[in-house]
Amino acid sequence: MLSKAQLAILVAFSAVLWVAATAYIRFYPAAFIDPVHGVISFVTALPAGWLSVYLTRLVARLEAGQLLPGIAVVGATAMMIDGLVLHFAPATYGSDDTVVRFGAAWLLWGYGVSLGIAVIMAAPAVGHFPGSSADRR
């Protein structure tokens, strides 16, 4: 279970990560419209996802059993911010619709990567992958 303090830290840290990702999209649009840079952005999302999970665990002082719920809070918060901004203020990400669309795809990819990394990182702590048949015994 996450404490109220941890929840507050996770929500705030989510906003920090969202601002950083949004700044990357807005100020480096070539990372999304140039084919080579686009591939590089998706590939580098892997170590960036690992780093974001590691930093989230560190900043919120999450124990091993709190990692998945903590990452879920961060991801859900950032995705809700993205949904609102993409609908009501898409120019926040840039003035080009292609950049906004490809940037949104990169954000979704990053959320999935981070959640997948959190599942892998949490597996040793619980002795198996969360949600596997071992949970139902």
Question: Which residues span the domain enclosing 99?
Answer: 8-130
Q: How many domains does the chain have?
A: 1
Exposure of 96 by Cβ count < 10 A (0-12 exposed, 13-18 middle, 19+ buried)? Answer: middle
Is the residue at 88 inside a domain? yes
Exposure of 130 by Cβ count < 10 A (0-12 exposed, 13-18 middle, 19+ buried)? Answer: middle
Is the residue at 14 inside a domain? yes
pLDDT band for position 123 (cuts 50, 70, 90): confident
| Averaged confidence pLDDT in the chain | 92
Contact between 76 and 56 under an 8 Å Cβ cutoff? The reply is no
Q: What does the pLDDT read at residue 134?
A: 56
Is the residue at 2 inside a domain? no
Q: What does the pLDDT read at residue 135?
A: 53
Query: Whole-model pTM?
Result: 0.86
Is the residue at 43 inside a domain? yes
Query: Is the pLDDT at 67 greater than 80, yes or no?
Result: yes
Instruction: Return the SS3 of 29.
Output: coil
Is the residue at 120 inside a domain? yes
Query: Is the pLDDT at 93 greater than 60, yes or no?
Result: yes
